[in-house]
Amino acid sequence: MMSWTLGFEDGAGPRWMRGREATVFAEKGIGPCGRPVAWRTGPGPVAVAVSEESGRLQAGFDVGEALDVLLSERYRRPAKPITRLLPFHYHRVPGALRFRIGQLLSAGRRSRFPRWPIDPSGDALRWLSGRREVRWPGGKAFALVLTHDVDSAEGMARASRMFDIEAAAGLPAVYGFVTSTYEIDRGLARAVQALGGEIAWHSDLHDNRIAFEEDDAIRRRIEGARGFLEEFNVTGFRSPSLYRTPALFRVLAERFRWDSSVPDTGPGGGCASVVPFRLGRLLELPLSMPQDADLLFRRRSWQEIVEAWLEKVRYIREVGGLAVLNTHPEPHFSGSSAGLEAYGEFLVRVRELDPWIAVPRGMPMQRGEVA
C-alpha cells in the first residue's frame, strides 16, 4: 500500500503537530488550489496535500479513507506469535527468562511506522476530517484510564498490592483476568468494582492464539467464560500480547461493548491515534501509553519509565485524547517493589495534570454523547 509523508505549513494545523509529520496511506490526488496548509513528500516531488480557500480545507486525497486505513490497521498484515511453535504453554518458561528474551527481541525490533512512542498520523487525519474535539466530562482537557493485565498466577498474587495503591488514592481501574489459567481472587474483583473500577476479560488462556482461531472456535472460548463474564458484568476485552485480527473483532462485537487491544504506536502496528473510535459495533480504546513491559524491554529504569509515561500524557493532553495505561502486576514487571513505587509516583504526578479519570463503562462514547 502506497504511503507518503504529510507535514503542515508553519502556523497551520494543530499545535501538537509542530515539528511532527504524519504518515498517510492513500493514492496521491491532484493538488488542491488555495493557500497551502499541508505538504506531501516522498515518493516523488513535494506537492500541496491540503489547502484552504474561503475558510474551508480542501485535500488532494480521501482523508476519511486514509483515516480508516489507520484505525482499522488495513496497512498491516497480522503476524502470528512465535510462541505458537512451542510444544507447551510459553508461561512454563520462568518469568525472568521470558523477560530476558523480551529484551533481546526488543533490541532488534525497529518500526518505521508507527513511530514510537508518539505518532500523530491518525489524529492529524482526524483533525483534517473535522473531528477535532472530544468533550470530556467536567470540561477536562483529556481523560485517563488505568488498566492492568493479570497474565498469570504470579500476577494474581500481587494484584492486590496495585489495588491498594489505587484504593488509597480513591482511583478506579480496570483489571483484566485470564479465566482458565489461575484461580481468580473474587474478593479483589468485587473490591475493584466497589471502588468504581471494572473487570475485563483477558481471554481464557494467555496462549496468544485466540486472535487466529476460526470464528466458531473464538465463540466457544468466550462461551467457556460465560460464568465469569456474567458474574462480574464484563463488557470489555483485551487480547493477550495485543494479538488482533478482523475476525477476532468481528466475534467480540457479538458479546462485548469495548476493546483495548489496538495500540497507538505498537508493538506490531497501531492506529496512530490517541482518541477512541468505533470498530464496527465495538468501542476501541487505543492503548495509548507505553506499557511497562515495552519500556522495561528497552532497558528503561523505573524513574525513566515514570518520566516516559508523563511525557506521553502531556502529548495526549494537547491532543485532547485518552491516555490508556496498561501495567502488569507480575513480579518481573510492575509487581516488583520498585515497580509499585513507580506506579504510585505516576498516579500522584499525573493527577497534577488534571485528567478526567474513569473506566470504559463511563466513557462518553459508551453513553452516546460523542459520535
CATH of the domain at 312: 3.20.20.370
In a domain, 167, yes or no: yes
Q: Do residues 189 and 329 both lie within one domain?
A: yes
Find out whether 27 and 101 touch, Cβ atoms under 8 Å: no
Q: For position 54, what pLDDT does the model report?
A: 84
Q: For position 107, what pLDDT does the model report?
A: 54
In a domain, 371, yes or no: no
Q: What is the DSSP string of 267-295?
A: SS---S--S-EEETTEEE--B-S--HHHH
Q: Do residues 23 and 145 both lie within one domain?
A: no
Helix or strand (DSSP H, E) at 236: strand 236-237
Q: Do residues 29 and 166 both lie within one domain?
A: no
The pTM (predicted TM-score) of the whole model is: 0.92
Q: Do residues 256 and 142 both lie within one domain?
A: yes
Sign of CA dihedral 325, 326, 331, 332: negative
Question: Which residue in 323, 312, 319, 307 sits closest to 356, CA to CA?
Answer: 323
Q: Do residues 163 and 277 both lie within one domain?
A: yes
Query: One digit per residue, pLDDT tens: the chain, 371 residues?
Result: 789 999 999 989 999 999 999 999 998 776 777 889 999 998 788 899 999 988 889 999 999 999 999 999 999 988 777 776 666 666 767 767 766 766 666 655 667 799 999 999 999 999 999 887 788 999 999 999 999 999 999 999 999 999 999 999 999 999 999 999 999 999 999 999 999 999 999 999 999 999 999 999 999 999 999 999 999 999 999 999 999 999 999 999 999 999 999 999 987 899 999 999 999 999 999 999 999 999 998 999 999 999 999 999 999 999 999 999 999 999 999 999 999 999 999 999 999 999 999 999 998 776 544 43
In a domain, 220, yes or no: yes
Q: For position 292, what pLDDT does the model report?
A: 96
Q: For position 253, what pLDDT does the model report?
A: 98
Relative to beta strand 277-279, strand 282-284 is: antiparallel
Residue 166 to residues 190, 238, 279, Cα–Cα distance (Å): 14, 21, 30
- What is the Cβ-side half-sphere exposure of residue 91, based on CA atoms within 13 angstroms? 17
Q: Which domain holds residue 33?
A: 4-74
In a domain, 101, yes or no: no
Q: How does 109-123 read in b/e, with b if 16+ C-beta sit within 10 Å? A: eeeebbbbbbbbbbb
In a domain, 317, yes or no: yes
How many angstroms separate the CA atoms of 261 and 274, rounded? Answer: 13
Residue indicated by cell numbers 462514547: 365
DSSP H helices in the chain: 63-71, 95-107, 121-128, 153-169, 186-194, 215-224, 226-231, 246-252, 292-297, 302-319, 337-351
Find out whether 329 and 159 touch, Cβ atoms under 8 Å: yes
The radius of gyration of the chain from alpha carbons, rounded to an integer in Å, stands at: 21
In a domain, 121, yes or no: no
Domain count for the chain, please give it.
Answer: 2
In a domain, 123, yes or no: no
- pLDDT tens profile 145-182: 999 999 999 999 999 999 999 999 999 999 999 999 99
Q: Do residues 168 and 19 both lie within one domain?
A: no
Question: Which residue in 291, 270, 260, 296 sits closest to 176, CA to CA?
Answer: 260
Question: Which residue in 105, 237, 128 sits closest to 176, CA to CA?
Answer: 237
How many angstroms separate the CA atoms of 301 and 315, rounded? Answer: 21
Q: Do residues 181 and 248 both lie within one domain?
A: yes
In a domain, 260, yes or no: yes
How many angstroms separate the CA atoms of 91 and 79, rounded? Answer: 20
- pLDDT tens profile 221-262: 999 999 999 999 999 999 999 999 999 999 999 999 999 999
